[in-house]
Structure 1
């Protein structure tokens, strides 16, 4: 594909992708009555239904760079196994022989490394939207993969998450400044023992509430974790370190409840982002559009979009 064609493709992508991300997040900042002409959404890749799309969970596909195999345990189902972008690139000829015309790769950004004995090998526990996941390689390796795919006229789709971030904070329900598993009630008849983890408390439509010995004490503050060993660190960009950008209602346990579906933390402690806020939507658009600019990838698949 020539430079002119690719430039036109890129321009069409930025117009349509930015708008699509904004509308997918929430319509609150778009005023349709003020539009003087209809919006035409265009795709730079033709009709995606014409593509033979091959989904790749990067960590589980192929390992070609042993230098990024730290903290991994290939014999353990829930740990990193060592797959990386270089491994995909080495197998592009094989994929092309299968008739693949588009690769859909798992998220590329830096994740919480491990939580409760399980690794973030799948890529859906975002911690830093601006950095590559070092388990898969560096930016040069990702750019090399995309370029090699394009040489074979194959498209590259990057998986992204706009609904939530990883397990980056806990709710300080008992106001003691440390994460706890709380045991409440006496266990007597009519008062069953309740176990509440401050990492992942059940949904409360009012927002998660704090309490003291005197009873409820208003909204529970959230406290970001600082554990470099597992990459439980405050999120980036820095806007996501503001408690106000999260819905803070706790874990969804009833997906039939629209409030929980849209505003609850995703089970496993994944913190729901308030995508009704214009600044949050803009941060998402800016962060992910940057990956297109950096890598020349061709599109996004948006994870958990029905929860946004």
Structure 2
């Protein structure tokens, strides 16, 4: 009896020793857990700790280890297991020296949501609302600062953190929904521990953790849940090209070539054309793709299989964990071309309906179309990015200039917008282009047009009725302005009413100024109507060559037709419907979606100067 007690006592202290040793030996495990029943059953787990590679690894329950990969850094082990037909469970990894277990680590394989793989995503029936969480609303002032985070809140500094957070977004979802938005894109919420300018979130220091100044991982799940209760969608801003210098791996790289080194730092030349230019020098092409975006953002090497797999698994983990509805991928065309194509394919293989829009900031439709999935232009070079959607920067360029050109000209005024659509034949899928007239990196539209409401009406109406997925940048709907020349903080101002003590609360009708209400009412009415228009969502488009600075186009299905007339003249214009009979067909009247007024399509149509007419034909 005493021997049994002694043995039991010895076993107890052995387990305690192993547990304590495990705590000290393993500092990181990524992904922190995984899911059973994935399309790709292979899971590569990163274990990080001092000299952890000195150990041999085994796992419980008969689970197969496919490979154990060690690098030149003894603080890492990459263990690949096969999860095919493995039920959700808690497995145990054992780490041994000289055939003796020195420490263990539990690892959870969790149950996926039902029908997770077939989840739907955002499409051209949606309106995406883009916001910067730090500048939108401060729902919890207690998390403005965090002892482990270098930068502290200072609302007086346009370049510092201001305290906006996830709770602030959740509190104002009714406002976003009232606008007619059906999807939310927030700039990155993962931890960014830069000492300054960390509010933008693109220099991430931990890609498995929400920045504590925004909230917690659990609060991000709450945001997802609250959106889904409203039948709205959550889009994560994902960064594959770079991390921040404060990322924990930058202190102790798994491999020298985890990031691009020259050795050390070299800045990209930003010449994305080198990625497909048949005449480009190899040196220029390498500097574009491998050079760092800025000195504080080490450039990730997607041609390293360990890096690529890490990024794929991190993206999938967030989709499963937070029940995401889509990605927007930052600086897509700066990545290793082949690597980012594999990353994108791995995501869409796992989730066939999952939409991903890439930032391809170029001023030429052919060059942007190159990056869309199944592009015939890319096929010339045997390249397919697998990227479902790209951002329509050329349309943005046209919209931010055209309405200051009141005279009809060969290539100015509304011809700029018309000409943008004449190149739609270059894109494999025009309905899956992201359309916008500003975002967090550009001049504010209302700054460029000096809060001219008529010009805002014309541009926003076009955005709401042409092909593609419209995106609205927070504050446009209340007339917010800002000049990028005065610094990024000027185009990323705090939303009025998002902080206690704000004199102006634009989140409520009672708190808005007359001008803010004018902008809001128009925007809300336009996009609430858009929710109902199948012709605008998925219909075909026919447009007519602008005459006298008046642009007319139609969106239509077999049963529904919407007619849009944009008059960029300073005075009223009259158009004869006979010219558009191919699209008007047997329709007799058109209902103005703003006023509800019925217009006789057998008579000439008068459109006021610098205005837009959107009609449902009846």
TM-score relative to the length of structure 1: 0.62
Give the Cα–Cα distance (whole angstroms) in 2 for the partners of residues 59 and 73 of structure 1: 11
Equivalent in 98, 120, 127 of residue 52 of structure 1 = 127
The residue number in structure 2 matching 1:292 is 319
Local SS of the residue matching 2:238: strand
Equivalent in 76, 96, 103 of residue 157 of structure 2 = 76
The residue number in structure 1 matching 2:201 is 123
After superposition, what is the alpha-carbon deviation per residue over 1:244-277, rounded to whole angstroms, capped at 9, x for unaligned?
Answer: 2111131124529322211101123311111012
Equivalent in 231, 239, 242 of residue 161 of structure 1 = 239
Structure number with bigger Rg: 2
Give the Cα–Cα distance (whole angstroms) in 2 for the partners of residues 55 and 240 of structure 1: 34
Are the aligned partners of 2:185 and 2:236 in contact in 1 as well (CA < 8 Å)? Answer: yes
Q: CA deviation at 1:299?
A: 1.6
Unaligned runs of 5+ in 2: 1-111, 146-151, 272-282, 336-618
After superposition, what is the alpha-carbon deviation per residue over 1:13-38, rounded to whole angstroms, capped at 9, x for unaligned?
Answer: xxxxxxxxxxxxxxxxxxxxxxxxxx
Q: CA deviation at 1:111?
A: 1.2
| Correspondence 1:261 to 2:261 | no
Are the aligned partners of 1:157 and 1:299 in contact in 2 as well (CA < 8 Å)? Answer: yes
Local SS of the residue matching 2:301: coil
Are the aligned partners of 2:203 and 2:296 in contact in 1 as well (CA < 8 Å)? Answer: no
CA shift in 2, pair 1:280/1:98, >3 Å: same
The residue number in structure 2 matching 1:252 is 268
Q: CA deviation at 1:140?
A: 1.7
Q: CA deviation at 1:46?
A: 5.2
CA shift in 2, pair 1:95/1:9, >3 Å: farther
Q: How many residues align?
A: 204
Are the aligned partners of 1:129 and 1:237 in contact in 2 as well (CA < 8 Å)? Answer: no
Unaligned runs of 5+ in 1: 1-5, 13-43, 169-233
Q: CA deviation at 1:236?
A: 4.8
The residue number in structure 2 matching 1:143 is 221
287-296 or 76-85, larger mean C-alpha shift: 287-296
TM-score relative to the length of structure 2: 0.32
Are the aligned partners of 1:130 and 1:237 in contact in 2 as well (CA < 8 Å)? Answer: no
Give the Cα–Cα distance (whole angstroms) in 1 for the partners of residues 203 and 132 of structure 2: 14
Local SS of the residue matching 2:314: helix
Matched ranges for 1:121-270 at <5 A: 121-168=199-246, 235-236=248-249, 240-249=253-262, 250-253=266-269, 255=271, 257-270=284-297
Matched ranges for 1:7-86 at <5 A: 7=113, 10-12=116-118, 44-45=119-120, 48-70=123-145, 71-86=152-167
Query: Does 1 or 2 have the higher relative contact order (CA < 8 Å, sep 6+)?
Result: 1
Local SS of the residue matching 2:205: strand
Give the Cα–Cα distance (whole angstroms) in 2 for the partners of residues 254 and 158 of structure 1: 24
Are the aligned partners of 1:73 and 1:79 in contact in 2 as well (CA < 8 Å)? Answer: yes
